[in-house]
Amino acid sequence: MPEGDTVFRAARRLHAALAGKVLTRSDFRVPAFATLDLVGRTVDEVVPRGKHLLHRIGDLTVHSHLKMEGRWDVYAPGDRWRRPAHQARVVLDATSGGTGSATDVSTVGFALGVLEVVPRDHESEVVGHLGPDLLGPDWDADLALANLTRDPDRPVGLALLDQRVLAGLGNVYRNELCFLRGVLPTRPVREVHDPARMIALASRLILANRDRSARVTTGVDRPGRRFWVYGRAGKPCLRCGTPIRYGELGESELTLRDTYWCPRCQT
């Protein structure tokens, strides 16, 4: 599932392509909004909120979430799509020349896990449950810390993935943060030494990767060296040489996610 930095970059591309332009096509390929026509409306902005994307168009907001397989692409008119047409969930084309002008840009949302249109003043109904956004203007480290420590018996690896605690972290960052702070993902939050440092590190890591196409947590941008533990099961720890272990962690069968850890560096 794309993490907050990936969604941030997607929002930036979409905003650059659409903001201030008039829609010349709105083709929603989901039953609930198949008859909705936004042609003639001006796109005010496209913004990220954690792992969510919000196209603000007048008094409406197009809310999408990429989930596991989704993505938004930006094309010049007539360009061939990079994914099959049957995966397209919405097409939004726009022009900078005003109503009746030729299309300047085409944007397509493929395989979106969530796609809905809500009144703009009801955005809180779809993203209001989220904690402070690590890459948002509302980032509040103190609130994130309070959220993290509210349930002291919860495994820290579960708390870090809970978007109600802080918005934007995914499984890569969860695993890497636990390694860098020297704790097993299964360790209760109450046993994490100085959780404020974990919050601060989460912010630094995602900010450092916000503008990168290849995510790096080790400081070495080279294949096989970008992550400390994530995706490295059975390989030697880059710090101590102990084989990295693999497991799954979740609050139910449906929420199980891969976990990676060094049994020597993490306790």
Instruction: Give me the active site residues, please.
Output: 2-3, 51, 257
Give CA separation, 88 vs 3, 80, 100, 150, 253, in Å.
Answer: 21, 13, 25, 40, 29
- HEC string of 156-199 equals HHHHCCCCCCCECCCHHHHHHHHHHCCCCCCCEHHHCCCHHHHH
Q: Is 155 left (phi over 0), alpha (psi -120 to 50) or beta?
A: beta
Q: Which of 24, 43, 33 is nearest to 105 (CA)?
A: 24
Measure CA 73 to chain center: 16
CA distance 175 to 177: 6
Measured torsion, CA atoms of residues 117, 132, 210, 57, in degrees rounded to the nearest 10: 20
Q: What secondary structure letter does DSSP report for 219?
A: S
